[in-house]
Chain A
Amino acid sequence: MEIVLAIAIGVLTGSGVYLLLRPRTFQVIMGLTLIAYAVNLFIFSVGRLKVDSEPVLVPGFKATLANTADPMPQALVLTAIVIGFAMTALFLVVMLASRGISDTDHVDGEEKDE
């Protein structure tokens, strides 16, 4: 299971970085979104991967990390998702403004000569 998650995070990050370095604003925003996904999965995974454990404390279980999932990364990832989402939306607005002002979707606001 670890290897699957690691590969998924790696592929997402790799694709994200590739897209981030492309010259079109749409590619950049897709790249940033993919990186944000990868980061969220990564944060989630630092609480250790565990199957069939209780997500919250229930009577009868001893409240240690051996019995329950680590709630801290889950709380962190929730915050990170919200913030990342808001920032991406904001970036989208600026991207549209740039497109409207410069009539091109190049990140520098003008087409470079081939």
Chain B
Amino acid sequence: MNTFVNELFSLLDRLLDHTMPHLIAVPILVPMLTAALMLLMGEQRRRAKSFLSVVSGLVGLVAALALLRWVNAPDTGGGPGSIGVYLPGNWPAPFGIVLVADRLSTLMVALTGVVAFAASIYSTSRWDRAGVHFHPLLQLQLMGLNGAFLTGDLFNLFVFFEVMLAASYGLLLHGSGQLRVRAGLHYIAINLAASSLFLIGAAMLYGVTGTLNFADLGARIAEVAPADRGLLHAAAAILATAFFAKAGAWPLNFWLVPAYSAAVSPVSAVFALLTKLGVYTLLRTWTLFFGTDAGASAQFGQVALLGLGMATLAVGAIGIVGTQRLSNLAGYCVLVSAGTLIAAVGLGQSAVWAGALYYLLSSTLAASALFLLIDMIERWRNAGQSIAPHESAGNAPFLSEDLQSFDDVNLDDEAQALYGRAIPAGVAFLGLSFVGCTLLMAGLPPLSGFVGKFAMLSGLLEQRPTSSGWLFLGLLLASGFLTLVALSRSGIRHFWTQTQASVPALRALEVLPVAVLLAACVALTVGAGPVMMHAQATAEGLAHPGDYRTAVMAARQRLGPTQKAGGE
């Protein structure tokens, strides 16, 4: 085992030697080119497109792992700290656009790689046939996500947000049907409004500081004239509203559960990443702009982060016990994890951030696995129908309205219902995976959900917590308990009450991605030491944004073949 790991590492090192710093652009370029290639291939050749999609996911994952290794290597030689800066247009910051691969970005890109890999495999079993252009849209979604994680300036963040959103609109509507179109309409409307807020905020920040580069903005915020500081804070608040809407913070999250539960399951699995993008942008911009060295603006907005995060956590926890439909349950789980993360960001202690980053990895993987799993469970329990009889009866809160059956949707291009081919021990797999997801979501030992929550709380208790710290602690434990109650109840209903004795028809291609995601969680648990060390180093970097600024501003142009050193 150890020799295998060492072999893998030396392979990654050789890859890095040959490709840095260009490797930073690979997670954006590969999905983009794959999507273009798929569009050229036309409507047919489904097998080839599925293959391309999985290969692209794999390439992205390998690139992300190599980058992760690079940022953690002691002797990167690429400037201060371990921050890779890539100048795509070969203009120095802050004038040109920059891609920045620091510990936080590469961690998020690696997470995206794992989830996207699993979702693309899952989709090839049947869901990619429920409509057109599934794989190209998925690739564009990945391009937008990776771009948003890697970009180093505000306006490119906006552009990558829009790339990601445009793809997500298409993916949400994949499979069609009234529920999806209605959820899609609301989702698009709120995101267009949020994008307008994003633009207003970005423009105001430019007006006040004269730059859009994250690193440059961070350095200039301390020097803003007192007369302009109100405007600066207004700009930051407007910008944060857009990020809050994206992260699913209460009260801007009523679109989230209907949209996530209406989407086809591999899409929901990828959507679990979208709220994390919102959390990432909040964490990135807040630590860079309003860190302790931001002068009069230091820690601006902390109350909003804490308050909205804890409100989201509470709303999500209440929603979990209040709903009985499995896909809604997973949607509320996403809300709980978003709320936890936003509040943890707002606590502003690097020890809590380290735990939160670990929790982010674990909860995203678990939520994606849960979405995929629910698809299989529902198909099994409802004997091919999308809505179970006990759900359409409408005797539970949040269930009474609008549960039409999907009679005319989820058909492949020959208008046949999409079915699978059986693997043995289907019930055992579904049951055990559901137990695994429950443990991960509720944060019970022995899996990584527990390690994440424990790390957050132990970080919180290192210093004497404030009253909001105690409140966060209470809410976190209570939400874990409610999650456990709700998921156990659903598990009992679906696995232990025998209403029909059929064997679930599962395909290997459906089982594999869930197994991959859960195995990743197990690996997180087993390798908690190195992962926590990475998370702590990341949190330290966030608490001291000076390194990030120095690295970005120090990036120099590379001379072209016709240029001489020192000349034009």
Contact = CB atoms under 8 A, between A and B. Distances in A.
A binds B: yes
Contact of A107 (B176, B186, B202, B207): B186
B203 A73 contact: yes
Given A87-B166, A102-B178, A80 B199 contact: yes
A90 B159 contact: no
Contact of A46 (B162, B182, B207): B207
A56 interface: no
Contacts of A43: 199-200, 203
B331 interface: no
Contact of A90 (B169, B196, B204): B169
Interface residues of A, dominant DSSP: helix
Given A72-B206, A86-B166, A91-B189, A108 B155 contact: no
Given A91-B188, A94-B169, A94-B173, A46 B203 contact: yes
A42 B192 contact: no
B182 A20 contact: no
A69 interface: no
Interface of A: 20, 25, 28, 32, 35-36, 39, 42-43, 46-47, 72-73, 76, 79-80, 83-84, 86-88, 90-91, 94-95, 97-98, 101-102, 107-109
B196 A35 contact: yes
4 closest A-B pairs by beta carbon, nearest first, are A46-B207, A43-B203, A109-B182, A46-B203
Contacts of A88: 192
A23 to B, nearest CB: 12
Given A39-B203, A73-B206, A87-B195, 12 more contacts: A25-B185, A32-B192, A39-B199, A42-B200, A46-B203, A46-B207, A87-B166, A91-B185, A94-B173, A101-B178, A102-B181, A109-B181
Contacts, number: 85
16 contacts: A28-B189, A35-B193, A36-B196, A42-B199, A42-B203, A43-B199, A46-B206, A47-B207, A76-B206, A80-B199, A83-B159, A87-B188, A90-B169, A91-B192, A97-B173, A102-B182
B355 interface: no
Contacts of B346: none
Contacts of B193: 20, 32, 35
B184 interface: yes
Contacts of A76: 155, 202-203, 206
Contacts of B195: 83-84, 87
B185 A95 contact: yes
B200 A98 contact: no
Contact of B181 (A35, A46, A79, A98): A98
Contacts of B159: 79, 83
Nearest to A83: B162
Interface string B140-177: 00000000000000010001001001100100010011
B188 A94 contact: yes
Nearest to A48: B207
Contacts of B196: 32, 35-36, 39
Interface in B193-250: 193, 195-196, 199-200, 202-204, 206-207, 212
Of A80, A88, A95, chain B has the most CB atoms within 10 Å of the CB of A80
A97 B181 contact: yes
Interface string B451-473: 00000000000000000000000
B279 to A, nearest CB: 23
A90 B203 contact: no
Contacts of B184: 94
B228 to A, nearest CB: 12
A109 B178 contact: yes
Contacts of A86: 166
Contacts of A47: 207
Contacts of A79: 155, 159
B182 A87 contact: no
B189 A39 contact: no
B13 to A, nearest CB: 39
A113 B1 CA distance: 66
Contacts of A42: 199-200, 203
A9 B184 CA distance: 29
Contacts of B185: 25, 91, 94-95, 98, 107, 109
A94 B181 contact: yes
Contacts of A97: 173, 176, 181
A47 B177 CA distance: 45
A20 B189 contact: yes
Contacts of B173: 94, 97
Nearest to A33: B192
B322 to A, nearest CB: 21
Contacts of B206: 46, 72-73, 76
Contacts of B162: 83, 87
Contact of A101 (B169, B181, B199): B181
A102 B291 CA distance: 50
B186 to A, nearest CB: 7
